[in-house]
């Protein structure tokens, strides 16, 4: 996955499953030796590759953003003071993006760990019968890797930009199993509805071929 990102491709990982299955642990892990999750390991390997490169003609820039989708509202986890719901827009070339979402430049693995820790503190969690620290929102940690090259012989410049999307989805749940009531019940309904919609989107994309690409509708909202 990381190799594809360095080649200029956009890549994505979803952690999907029932509440309490260990999705957040798989993605984030713990801040203990040997218990790092996918996101810390990937970030560590990315900066190791950047620091180990001997290409003097390449300049790397790494930017990160962290957001959660809670009850159909998008929140910036790196700017939790901003409590308004951010809007999802569509760029004619770059595709969907979140308006006013913080995008911070990082220069080391330690920088990313600090931002992840701050973002995780702002994330919405609550206790249910199935999970004492159940994630009540979908979290999306995004890394934008930019590689700029300059050929001194020809004076030509080139740029490769790739996006790494690391998604910790809230767990699917049954109200009778979680004992959810009131706000917890509303959260669970929104979680299940959004997961169903995501499944429809993935199924539609899987059906797309060169012959029928224009005929397949891709649902984006419930």
Q: Report, as residue numbers or ranges, the catalytic residues.
A: 20, 22-25, 168, 171
Tokens of 22: 């260990």
Per DSSP, the residues of 47-86 read: HHHHHH---TTEEEEEEEEEEEEETTEEEETT-TT--SPB
Tokens of 196: 């169903």
Secondary structure class of 163 (helix, strand, coil): strand
Q: Which of 66, 78, 34 is nearest to 164 (CA)?
A: 66
Instruction: Determine contact, residues 99/87, Cβ cutoff 8 Å.
Output: yes
CA distance 61 to 159: 11
Binding-site positions: 17-24
Residue with tokens 């190791």: 48
Instruction: Determine contact, residues 23/17, Cβ cutoff 8 Å.
Output: yes
Binding-site positions for ATP: 17-24
Residues 6+ positions from 44 with CB-CB distance below 8 Å: 36, 109
| Residue 17 CB neighbour total at 10 angstroms | 13
């Amino acid at each position: 996955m990381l190799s594809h990102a360095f080649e200029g491709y956009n890549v994505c990982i979803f952690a999907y499953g029932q509440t309490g299955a260990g999705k957040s642990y798989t993605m984030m892990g713990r801040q203990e030796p040997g218990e790092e999750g996918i996101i810390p390991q990937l970030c560590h390997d990315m900066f190791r590759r950047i620091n180990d490169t001997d290409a003097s003609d390449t300049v790397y820039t790494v930017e990160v953003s962290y957001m959660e989708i809670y009850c159909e509202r998008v929140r910036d986890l790196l700017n939790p003071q901003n409590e308004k719901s951010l809007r999802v827009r569509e760029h004619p070339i770059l595709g969907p993006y979140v308006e006013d979402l913080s995008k911070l430049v990082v220069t080391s693995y330690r920088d990313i760990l600090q931002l992840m820790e701050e973002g995780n503190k702002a994330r919405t969690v609550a206790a249910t019968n199935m999970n004492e620290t159940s994630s009540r929102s979908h979290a999306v940690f995004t890394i934008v890797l930019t590689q700029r090259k300059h050929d001194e012989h020809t004076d030509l410049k080139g740029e490769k930009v790739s996006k790494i999307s690391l998604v910790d989805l809230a767990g699917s749940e049954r109200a009778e199993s979680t004992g959810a009531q009131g706000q917890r019940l509303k959260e669970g309904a929104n979680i299940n509805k959004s997961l169903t919609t995501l499944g429809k989107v993935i199924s539609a994309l899987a059906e797309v071929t060169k012959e029928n690409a224009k005929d397949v509708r891709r649902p984006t909202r419930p």
